Amino acid sequence: MIRLWHPFNYFALLLTSVFIISPTFVFAEVKVLNLISYIQLEQDHPPVSSIASTDKNYNWQTADLPFSKPPIGQSKLEDYTTFWFRIPLADLRATAATEDQILSIYIWRHNLRLAIYYDNQRLGGTIKNRADGKPDSGWNHPVMIDIPPLPDSGSDPAGDNLAGNHVSQVPLEVERGKFLYIQLESGPSGAILSPLVIGARSEILPLFEERYFLQIEITRWIFALCSLLSVLSIWLWTQRNQDTLYLRFCGMSVCSAVTSSYFFLDYMPIDVHLWIGIQHAASDWGFYFLISYLLLALNLSLNLFSRMILGTTVLATIVYLVAPEQNLQPIANLIHVLETFIAFGFFLYVFWLTLKAPDATKLWFSFALFGSLIIFSHDIYYVFLSNLDEHVGASNWLQLNPAFIALAFFAHLIHRFVSALDESEALNRTLERRVEDTRLELQKSFDKNRKLDLQRSADDERQKIYRDLHDDLGSKLVSIVHASGSAKESKLARGALESLRESIYRANYPEQSLDGFMTQVSEEAELRITSAGMGFTCWIEPIPDLPLASREGYHLSRILREVISNIIHHSRASDVRFRTNLNAGHLNMEVCDNGIGGVDPGCKSGGLTNIRFRADQMKAQVNWTNNEPGCCFRLSVPMEIQP
């Protein structure tokens, strides 16, 4: 086994808080061998001979299981060291409860590959001798071999063999021997052989199937899952290519798929040195993508730290490709240890940030990181601290970490993607609402402008008609007034002329404000009075902004013009005072002068008669008061004031 102890594997993210508890089986008919004889011997057949137990050239030694020994005299990665182990048949006979019972031997972990022999007869194992010449590598594959009936049992020599997922019938066709042999081929990373479990097939098979499922089948599913998530993340990135978080997740998924393949493949698909280098590089790049993903997802501005990790990863990849084969593993271990300390410190920093300012994203990742620490503690305990029975029955969770990484991060990506879609939909709805509001405003503005245009055109046409009436009909009526010898005809002409003028005034002033009207007539009166050489004083008390109908406005303006004309032509005054106010629902107007006075209110002259007529039209009160000196004209007009 090439050891890939790395933070990318141990400090992965956990998808859920429900941790898988690996069951430990306890069997009544099982014997665990923890003491065995071994010899280092470079040959491809068991050391069987008539003097096998006494020939000093073999130099058999005793070792405890699990067995672990560094390579001896290796200079190249492709070279293999072969160890031979032997199990006395007496131990196997002692294990059998009955003579017809099928015994099995179970080996849950070895490095790098092995084969089991009865004397010179090969029973099975992970040494395949592939036709394509690619090196075998079944280090993570548990091995279960059914031992054929023993020579003195009286049974037919036949049995089953399970190595990985293979089953075969192997008859014993050799002389009766004394030992069962195990051939173990190792690489530069060392030789490893777990304790041997021997017992009834019915007791051993559940152990093997559970281990095979956890170490091989699950890893294959993890490989498929990571490959699928790589494709999905690329698709998500095409939908939101401005967000590089999806690319970083894709890099993580690809690296997880590569490292997962190392756990379930029973051979090396390419050159050994290149294959191991790719595994180490994938582990390092997965670590970089993990850190960069967390930095971006948590909005952490640690650019220098990210560049340091990237630089270390690039340098490590180059070293893996150019380093001498015999130095590759120590260099990789050193780099992985360094990255492990970096990862541990960074994850503590994430925990601290979560405690300092918790939010949904930080809590999610912190919870997942905590789950990864549980996985790490599980493997550390069962590999280094547990007793022999626990060690044999337990399963590693190391191969589960890529799945935790992929699923945890992908769940975050999906949440991020769905949130982005929701935000986009909300923005679209807001935009559609604003577009509709704008359309309605434009339609309203268009309708208003259209109405104004029509009204303006109508006003222009109306003014043209009034001008024509004034210029044509008005001049003819004036001629009739002055030329007619009949008083009745003259009066009718004057009435028609007055109606014409009132109609034209109403057209020019359809409706105006009372305040604006008073300002207009006071300015006109001041202009006429001062032009006649008289003084003018005006008091207009504050008047509410009330509407004044065109009819009332016309009559008021005519009355005031007539009053001002009489003062200018008949009063001989030097000063005129104009006052107006609104009181008790009446508009009160007063015009006083300091002239000769003597105005007769009952006079039937045309000017005073016109004033009374117009006052009656408005239901207004009008009177003249002679003073010493001068005269005062007063007008009170009822006004409709809205509450």
Written as six digits, the tokens of 130 are 């592939």
Q: How far apart are the first and last CA of the chain?
A: 98
d(CA 266, CA 488): 132
Higher pLDDT, 64 or 100: 64
**DSSP string of 134-151?**
PPB--TTS-EEEEEPPPT
pLDDT score, position 455:
79
**DSSP string of 16-37?**
-S-PPPPP----TTEEEE-EEE
Higher pLDDT, 140 or 463: 140
Amino acid letter, residue 92: L
Quick one: angle between helices 245-264 and 218-239, nearest 10? 160
Does the pLDDT value for residue 279 go beyond 50? yes
The full length of the chain comes to: 643
pLDDT tens digits for 208-233? 998 888 888 988 988 998 898 889 88
Within a 10 A sphere around the Cβ of 62, how many other Cβ atoms?
Answer: 8
Q: What residue has token string 């039937």?
A: 604
d(CA 423, CA 415): 12
pLDDT tens digits for 561-585? 888 888 888 888 899 999 998 888 8
d(CA 492, CA 483): 13
| Cα–Cα separations (whole angstroms), residue 613 to 588, 610, 621 | 18, 5, 11
pLDDT score, position 84:
92
- The H or E element that residue 69 is part of is strand 67-69
Higher pLDDT, 577 or 371: 577
Class of domain 214-427: mainly alpha
Written as six digits, the tokens of 499 are 């109606």
Percent of the chain surpassing pLDDT 70: 72
Higher pLDDT, 389 or 1: 389
| Cβ–Cβ < 8 Å for 239, 421 | no
d(CA 386, CA 390): 6
pLDDT score, position 85:
93
Does the pLDDT value for residue 170 go beyond 50? no
CATH of 27-203, one of 1.20.1630.10, 2.60.120.260, 2.40.50.140, 1.20.120.1200: 2.60.120.260
> Is the peptide bond between 196 and the residue preceding it cis, with omega within 30 degrees of 0?
no
Tell me the torsion sign for CA atoms 113, 116, 120, 121: negative
Does the pLDDT value for residue 160 go beyond 60? no
pLDDT score, position 394:
62
Residue 505 binned pLDDT confidence (cut-offs 50, 70, 90)? low
pLDDT tens digits for 379-421? 667 756 666 556 545 666 766 776 666 666 777 777 777 787 8
Higher pLDDT, 267 or 96: 267
pLDDT score, position 314:
93
Higher pLDDT, 132 or 288: 288
Amino acid letter, residue 525: A
The rounded radius of gyration (Å) of the Cα atoms in the chain is: 55
pLDDT score, position 421:
81
pLDDT tens digits for 300-337? 888 888 888 899 999 999 998 888 877 787 888 788 77
Beta bridge partners of 184: 83, 114
Best-predicted range by mean pLDDT among 116-120, 160-164, 574-578?
Answer: 574-578
Stretch 111-134: mean pLDDT, rounded? 78
Does the pLDDT value for residue 495 go beyond 50? yes
Instruction: Flag the least confident range among 85-94, 192-201, 256-265, 467-476.
Output: 467-476
Stretch 535-562: mean pLDDT, rounded? 84
From the list 213, 207, 209, 183, the residue with the least C-alpha distance to 30 is 207
From the list 583, 548, 591, the residue with the least C-alpha distance to 566 is 591
Instruction: Flag the least confident range among 39-53, 481-495, 560-574, 590-604.
Output: 481-495
pLDDT score, position 469:
66
pLDDT score, position 171:
38
Quick one: angle between helices 475-483 and 487-508, nearest 10? 160
- 179 φ/ψ angles, rounded to the nearest 5 degrees: -135, 155
Stretch 103-121: mean pLDDT, rounded? 85
d(CA 321, CA 469): 106
From the list 265, 268, 264, 263, the residue with the least C-alpha distance to 133 is 268
Instruction: Flag the least confident range among 20-29, 528-537, 602-611.
Output: 20-29
| Helix locations, 190-271, DSSP H | 201-212, 218-239, 245-264
pLDDT score, position 281:
92
Does the pLDDT value for residue 49 go beyond 60? no
Residue 504 binned pLDDT confidence (cut-offs 50, 70, 90)? low
Beta bridge partners of 626: 631
pLDDT score, position 317:
92
pLDDT score, position 331:
85
Stretch 81-88: mean pLDDT, rounded? 88
| Cβ–Cβ < 8 Å for 283, 252 | no
Starting from the edge strand earliest in sequence, which strands make up the sheet with 166-169, in order? Answer: 30-33, 196-200, 103-107, 143-147, 160-163, 166-169
| Cα–Cα separations (whole angstroms), residue 36 to 61, 194, 600 | 8, 11, 151
pLDDT score, position 95:
61
Stretch 416-429: mean pLDDT, rounded? 83
d(CA 17, CA 339): 26
Instruction: Flag the least confident range among 130-134, 270-274, 384-388, 585-589.
Output: 384-388
- The H or E element that residue 144 is part of is strand 143-147
Written as six digits, the tokens of 58 are 């073999």
Which CATH topology does 511-638 take? Answer: Heat Shock Protein 90 (3.30.565)
Q: Where are the domains of the chain?
A: 27-203, 214-427, 511-638
d(CA 143, CA 162): 6
Instruction: Flag the least confident range among 116-120, 159-163, 341-345.
Output: 159-163
pLDDT tens digits for 430-467? 898 999 988 888 888 888 888 888 878 877 777 777 66
- Name, in order, each residue with C-beta under 8 angstroms of 228's C-beta and a sequence gap of 6 or more: none
Stretch 353-371: mean pLDDT, rounded? 79
From the list 68, 46, 56, the residue with the least C-alpha distance to 178 is 46
- The H or E element that residue 305 is part of is helix 303-322
Does the pLDDT value for residue 263 go beyond 50? yes
Does the pLDDT value for residue 169 go beyond 50? no
